[in-house]
Structure 1
């Protein structure tokens, strides 16, 4: 499959001197889909598309060479699918991966989350939401599409489609940290958690940081998946 490396023009380079530019690698086996994403992202001053790949193997190779901040990854592709490509990229620490899927309840998307993806979106996501998601993943700040992520986990783990992990991995957490992790897994934001637990938002952020560090997790999405897999949060639990 064809892969391509692109470089932004002088205007984009000038913008990078004013603020951090998010470097994105586009991965999809449909050239028209990549073209559509590129049109949206090229219109943003703080985003630069640095390359394109048409299959997972090319994505792994380009990610290693270009070191983008974000890989926008299709999951169903030839040669090497997006799940395997995501695992290789995230294990190497090359970039964060944002998975794009056509189906809102897609077992491939769940597998990608388990293998290191920082979130996923539907391919028909409005352009403004796509850009916001890329910025969120780049900052490490938020779970992307939390309602869809929870529906995905509810469906597959609730139907016995997931491998449960030993809850003992959570023993390193304090009672308060377990409480915060539970609320994170239920889709609450830091602000909502602070209100619910009568804490400051800064304190909640500190707890979340400690949870990620203690459990060796990359971001909030990984925390949500682990909370489900250990049974801390069960399918159908409300916020």
Structure 2
């Protein structure tokens, strides 16, 4: 895609805003910061239409604000968490709450720009912090997926849309949607909801269905 990606940036440090603005100015495809905000509240007071939200978790020295992430995700925003926190349990919780990608601020320009481009196309992006969290998780209650469900799931991770999965596997888009719905239902029944593509990637890696290299 060559059209600009419009993002909203929510972070309470001016140096982060300046740094990301410089990175975005050099991105290809171009990335435009539609609005820079010092808190989630200020985003909701004056936000514009954006393709992706880049969100810090901690404001004014308080504990990570997961309520903000949950609200943004529930409102349909594609949220990339960009935080100094790297704890695996926090990373996995953010994915469960709807984040499409979790990045450590130490991962810097290369990973953030790639994650923004991926978020716009619904492709999962796996940075080092997110990969470590997934691989270290010892999840239980793993649902049993059929061979066909696994095939559909992995193909979906490797393509940009359900239509491309259907073309690759010689099935209808409706069949793809049915398989993915059944997979989500199985994870929900096991108490491990996967509301986003990123969360399903996390589940699949935790359960040994796919590796980071497969992505």
TM-score (norm 2): 0.69
Q: Specify which of 208, 211, 220 is matched with residue 197 of structure 2.
A: 220
Q: Specify which of 152, 156, 172 is matched with residue 133 of structure 2.
A: 152
1:90–1:97 contact (8 Å) kept in structure 2: yes
Q: Please report how far the alpha carbon of residue 30 of structure 1 lies from its aligned counterpart in structure 2 after TM superposition.
A: 1.1
Map residues 33-52 of structure 1 onto 2, 5 A cutoff: 33-44=16-27, 46-52=30-36
Matches of 1:58 and 1:149, distance apart in 2: 28
Q: Specify which of 97, 114, 121 is matched with residue 132 of structure 1.
A: 114
Q: Which protein has the larger Cα radius of gyration, Structure 1 or Structure 2? A: 1
Q: Specify which of 86, 89, 109 is matched with residue 69 of structure 2.
A: 86
- Structure 2 partner of 1:10: none
Matches of 1:120 and 1:62, distance apart in 2: 25
Matches of 2:113 and 2:130, distance apart in 1: 18
Matches of 2:17 and 2:134, distance apart in 1: 28
Matches of 2:176 and 2:202, distance apart in 1: 15
- Structure 2 partner of 1:122: 104
Residue 99 in structure 1 maps to residue 81 in structure 2: yes
Q: Please report how far the alpha carbon of residue 113 of structure 1 lies from its aligned counterpart in structure 2 after TM superposition.
A: 1.0
1:27–1:53 contact (8 Å) kept in structure 2: yes
Matches of 2:23 and 2:75, distance apart in 1: 28
Residue 177 in structure 1 maps to residue 177 in structure 2: no
The RMSD of aligned alpha carbons is 3.9
Matches of 1:120 and 1:201, distance apart in 2: 30
Matches of 1:190 and 1:150, distance apart in 2: 16
Q: Please report how far the alpha carbon of residue 106 of structure 1 lies from its aligned counterpart in structure 2 after TM superposition.
A: 4.7
Map residues 185-224 of structure 1 onto 2, 5 A cutoff: 190=158, 202-203=168-169, 211-214=179-182, 215=184, 219-224=196-201
Q: Which has the higher contact order (CA 8 A, sep 6+)?
A: 2
Q: Please report how far the alpha carbon of residue 53 of structure 1 lies from its aligned counterpart in structure 2 after TM superposition.
A: 1.6
TM-score (norm 1): 0.64
Matches of 1:148 and 1:201, distance apart in 2: 33
Q: Please report how far the alpha carbon of residue 212 of structure 1 lies from its aligned counterpart in structure 2 after TM superposition.
A: 4.1
Structure 1 unpaired stretches of 5+: 1-17, 192-198
Matches of 1:23 and 1:175, distance apart in 2: 39
